[in-house]
Chains A and B, each alone.
Chain A
Amino acid sequence: MKILLKIAWRNIWRNKGRSAALLTAIVIGLWAGVVTVGLMTGLLDQRIDNLIDSEIAHLQAHHPEFREEHRPEMVLPDVTKLTTWLDEHQSVRSYTARSIVEGMFQSPVKTSGVRIMGVDPERERNTTTFHENLVSGDYVDADIRNPVILGLELAEEHNIEIGNRIVLTFEQLDGELASAAFNVSGFFRSGSTHYDRGNVIVHIKDIQELLSEKPVFHEIAVVLHDIEEAESVVMAINEQFDGLVAQTWDQLSPELGTIVLLGSFMLFIVTMIIMIALAFGILNTMLMALFERIREIGMLISIGMSRIRVFFMIVLEAVMLTITGAAVGMLFAWGTITLLNREGVDLALFAGGIEEIGWPTVIYPAITLGEFFSITVVVITMTLLATLYPAYKAFRVNPMEVEKDT
């Protein structure tokens, strides 16, 4: 085996240009794979984090039918029992209770259907990052009567400025309609125009006064110390409490599930294309290299080198190139990801209007160690697979090739 290593090593240096080309292909393949995955992961992570951090949190509890029917009377039963439990649970970092109703948003210009969310500004701040979405004005703890904040899109559609007064109309718990004037205290931009057009946020006490006599809550959003525990906490809540259903973030937002799925699928396609290109490049180069050496290989088999040794000689050449290429590629890729992660990539440069659909414009590519190594493994595997055919060709060489004239 030592002799095979030696001959393979020397053969690599024999045609430096070709080896360099192969090496470059491997480096670029790995680099491109890692950077693509990194960009995509960064994009997805940010989108997901954004949604999770700003509103969804790690888990939520609702009345069992609330998420389908959105009826105001579908309130959480026995909220104090649940909050006491959450207060005592070690995994829970914080939580916030919300009152949510569907209603009408009426300005002097026109009327739109909106979802009205009443939040406790103090708790909301501690639990989510929604307040960071505020682009102008004040949050719902503004020192005015009945403050409301709305998405920029909605404000534009209704030609509204801060300080304007609008009317919200919605059903009370008993089925009667309630209407109240609210004062616009600020605008937010969540990253999704769809969201910004259809949601308004008010102070929870303002809406609760209108909904019923006692305070009612439709939703409790919980943030844990570790998102990985969401599943187990959800299970614990569902076991302990009747009349409500807790769900993890991915159950709550099917959109997120789809994004993740779609993202991984696209990722798979892109990396596949890169890998196949790499494999064909290598196959082609190795075949050329083999073709040039066919007489020499015929000589080796003639004088008594076993075919299996010839096979491994070729494979070893590829292995050495691949290991070198993979190492260099890994370094470059890691460097690129680290750099891009620090600096961010401004997608607006390439795709205007991307924020319209709720995607971040500046993304911070990231890659897990697992992904990084699996790409490396894929690149190495592809290279070696691409070598099997040339190696097999070498394995099959007729010893009498050595006698052929050039």
Chain B
Amino acid sequence: MAVIRTEKICKVYNPDTIPVHALKDVSIQVEKGEFTSLVGPSGSGKTTLLNMLGALDMPSSGKSFIGDVEVTKLSDKERINFRLHNIGFVFQHYNLIPVFTARENVSFIMMLQGVAQKELLERADELLESVGLGDRKDARPHELSGGQQQRVAVARALASKPRFILADEPTANLDTKAAMNLLDIMEKMNEEQKVTFVFSTHDQRVIKRARRVVTLVDGAVHSDKTTTPDNTVKE
């Protein structure tokens, strides 16, 4: 079964004043283990679609399923709890709690989930090591570079053992080296642990590393290409 499935999702902002049709009948499926990139010009609806996939926002019409749960039917409160246990998020900025150390930021989400203290500390350390921050566990976000902060965010997203991770322009604020490093880590997680990633990006170097590229234009899916391991492109 697909990890995420949307059925004819439409999103209209400001329906009563100056309506903006941000998404038009978007139906896509994301399977387990995908490494998918959402691309498209600015204003094409990437963020809006990620908000729908992540149950952060409700579509104006259409349905959205995560596993066998129809998230578009959940209440705000149920969606928050659903996100906590099922979805990992990496944002462009403001990912981390500034007053918490890297370790505390990663532990935090597990505390919200009610994971036992001992287990969550071990897991936080493990995850920080796997994103290459084993020696910066006690640093606060402002003591970390942008790339390091995004890696903490990835570790945090993974910590909750989500069904998939959504990332909205995770590399937008990073230089090439940091961006590639972050991609390496995401790719490694994807390959080794079969973590499903869906991320939006403008960045050609990032797009190249995606195995599936969904292109949005004016709120509609314009193309959907999958690169198979033998590098042939399937539309």
Contacts and interface: CB of A to CB of B under 8 A. Distances in A.
Interface centre among A6, A305, A306, A406 (most CB of B within 10 A): A305
Interface residues of A, number: 25
Given A10-B100, A400-B56, A298 B94 contact: yes
A134 to B, nearest CB: 69
B144 to A, nearest CB: 16
A402 B85 contact: no
A7 B100 contact: yes
A320 interface: no
Nearest to A14: B99
A304 B95 contact: no
Nearest to B56: A399
A12 to B, nearest CB: 9
B81 A306 contact: yes
B57 interface: yes
A302 B56 contact: yes
B98 A403 contact: no
A403 B92 contact: yes
Interface stretch (B31-39, B104-112, B215-223): B104-112
Nearest to B95: A299
Q: Which of B76, B77, B112 is packed against the most chain A CB atoms within 10 Å?
A: B112
A303 B83 contact: yes
A403 B168 contact: yes
A7 B100 CA distance: 8
Contacts of B95: 299
Question: Among the interface residues B57, B87, B91, B109, which one has the most CB atoms of the partner chain A within 10 A?
Answer: B91
Contacts of B87: 304
A303 B94 contact: no
A189 to B, nearest CB: 65
B174 interface: no
A45 interface: no
B98 A296 contact: yes
A304 to B, nearest CB: 3
B178 interface: no
Contact of B91 (A7, A10, A13, A302): A302
A304 B99 contact: no
Given A302-B56, A304-B112, A402 B91 contact: yes
Contacts of B27: none
A400 B77 CA distance: 15
A307 interface: yes
B102 to A, nearest CB: 14
Contacts of B93: 295, 406
B227 interface: no
Given A3-B111, A307-B77, A403-B92, A302 B83 contact: yes
A304 B84 contact: yes
B108 A3 contact: yes
B99 A7 contact: yes
A399 B83 CA distance: 11
B160 interface: yes
Contacts of A302: 54, 56, 83, 89, 91
Nearest to B169: A403
B162 to A, nearest CB: 10
Indicate the member of B94, B95, B108, B160 with the most A CB atoms within 10 Å: B94
B91 A299 contact: yes
Nearest to B57: A400
Contacts of B98: 14, 296
Contact of A299 (B51, B80, B94): B94
Contacts of A37: none
A3 B111 CA distance: 7
B146 to A, nearest CB: 14
A7 to B, nearest CB: 7
B47 A403 contact: yes
Nearest to B101: A10
Nearest to A403: B47
Interface in B157-200: 160, 168
A11 interface: yes
B99 A10 contact: yes
A361 to B, nearest CB: 54
Contact of A305 (B80, B94, B156): B80
Contact of B99 (A13, A307, A399, A402): A13
A205 B99 CA distance: 85
B97 interface: yes
A150 interface: no
Interface of A: 3, 6-7, 10-11, 13-14, 295-296, 298-307, 309, 399-400, 402-403, 406
7 contacts: A3-B108, A10-B99, A295-B94, A299-B91, A304-B83, A306-B81, A403-B51
